[in-house]
Amino acid sequence: MAVDMEYRRLGDGELKVSAVCLGTMTFGQQNSQAEAHEQLDYALDQGINFIDTAEMYPVPPRAETCTRTETIVGNWLAGKPRDQVVLATKVAGPNRNITWIRDGPKSLDRANIREAIEGSLRRLRTDYVDLYQIHWPARNVPMFGRFHFDPNQELESVPIREQLEVMAELVREGKVRYVGLSNEHPWGVMEFLRLAAEHGLPRVVSIQNAYSLLNRTFEFSLTEIAYRERVGLLAYSPLAFGHLSGKYLDDPKTTGRITEFPGFGQRYEKADVVPATAAYAALARKHGLTPTELALSFVYRQWFAASTIIGATNMDQLKEDIGAWNKPLSDEVLAEVDRLQLNHMNPSP
């Protein structure tokens, strides 16, 4: 069944993106180019105009596969009208032990950002990207399952103003249309906004952070910023690395990212993940939904979510993910979701 896709504006800009975005981080690792192109074609046919990728993809990040995803997406994009696709990619930040991408701690300075965008444009076979995102902050912040800020971990990093000044150059040159953040914290978002206003630099329009039934921390700290500053959430990992599909409840050894790459999904290895997932799966089935439909429909229609990034490794998964758009949740179900959230408060922040 085709979906009646909704389109939402990013920030104050002209970009209108589909409420569902196709993520690509499996392309080149868990999916071949042919499989990836089949997914991209199907998504486009279903009204999805928004594609998200990154220079470091696929994941888990490895030197031998780095940048492969952008190449796969670029080979597909070359055969499509460019103005039909809103294309987002990311420049990798420092401090993630990804030593094969440029200059470590300096990886968000002028030389490195320019090297990154030129490489992305070449691989994507386009002369511009619609949304260029900083993949994670350069400064000391807890990320990817860590949640304690530790002042003792302070380090030298490229100032935010310098990062924005380089982005301004790329916007003036027509290589980037809009700028976004990813894996960012409230202080960082506000600092990017403050410096943009004070110095006439590009204003960020989006923040790509994890958000799901197992991780609603965005609501605690960033929704007011999203509303007052018009910065939309691009919600990633809405199925929590597949946990919220329920498949690991039925068979903990089933094929998936968690079993194929042990230790990679550490944010989802916390004690309450399985009980919380089981509770949400039971709620879904009580109301005639699959666990996937409940989890995705919940995220799809959050007022602060400009778009939700889905990912799949086969077409059946992709069809269910997109089809969940047609399953809006009732007030009764949403109230039960909130009750479960109080019992299982963000087990995988």
The DSSP annotation for 50-118 comes to: EEE--TT-SSS--TTTTTHHHHHHHHHHTTS-GGG-EEEEEE--SSSS-TTSTTGGGTTSHHHHHHHHH
Query: What mean pLDDT is reported for the chain?
Result: 94
Q: How many CA atoms lie within 13 A of 331 on its CB side?
A: 0
pLDDT tens-digit series, residues 201-246: 999 999 999 999 999 999 998 999 999 999 999 999 999 999 999 9
Which pLDDT value is given to residue 1?
62
Percentage of residues in the chain having pLDDT higher than 70: 98
Separation CA 194–CA 2 (nearest Å): 42
In the chain, the amino acid numbered 180 is G
User: What fold does the segment set 7-343 form as a domain?
Assistant: TIM Barrel (3.20.20)
Please name the residue that has the structure tokens 């590009």: 202
Q: 3-state class of 17 per DSSP?
A: strand
Range 326-338 average pLDDT: 98
Assess whether 57 carries a catalytic annotation: yes
- Which band of pLDDT confidence, cut at 50, 70 and 90, is reported for residue 259? confident
* Residue-level length of the chain: 349
Other C-beta atoms lying within 10 Å of the C-beta of residue 50 = 29
Residue among 7, 42, 57, 227 flagged as catalytic: 57
Q: Where are the domains of the chain?
A: 7-343
- 315-323 and 33-45 are packed helices; what angle lies between their axes, rounded to 10 degrees? 20
Contact 215, 188 (CB under 8 A): no
